[in-house]
């Protein structure tokens, strides 16, 4: 594994993990009033496109990070829509 791949994996891990606290808090409290619906629609769309891009170029750090992040983002978005 080369240095560039390691940087990609570390960056992917950090950005993916950053969604976990919000997802867990949203699931636990069901409080979404302070979350921006438009922001989560845009970020979820962007994550989905990064995932597609990752598959198109077969880049595993991009694929793995965005697949996991997409799950977290969709959970938050669903809760936002359900518990306005």
How many structural domains compose the chain?
A: 1
**Residue range(s) defining the domain that contains residue 51:** 3-82
Q: What pLDDT digit, counting tens, does each position of 3-33 carry? A: 988 898 898 899 999 999 999 999 999 999 9
* pLDDT score recorded for residue 67: 96
Length of the chain: 84
Q: What is the pLDDT of residues 56-80, one digit of tens each?
A: 999 888 999 999 999 999 999 999 9
46-52-53 Cα angle (round to 5): 85
- CATH code at position 48: 1.20.1280.290
CA distance 18 to 55: 22
Q: pLDDT at residue 1 above 90?
A: no
């Amino acid at each position: 594994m080369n240095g560039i791949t390691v940087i990609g994996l570390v960056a992917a891990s950090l950005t993916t993990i950053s969604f976990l606290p919000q997802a867990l808090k949203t699931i636990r409290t069901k409080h979404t009033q302070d979350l921006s619906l438009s922001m989560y629609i845009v970020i979820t769309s962007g994550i989905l496109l990064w995932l597609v891009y990752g598959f198109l170029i077969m880049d595993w750090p991009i694929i793995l990070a965005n697949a996991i992040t997409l799950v977290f983002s969709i959970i938050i978005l669903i809760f936002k829509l359900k518990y306005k």
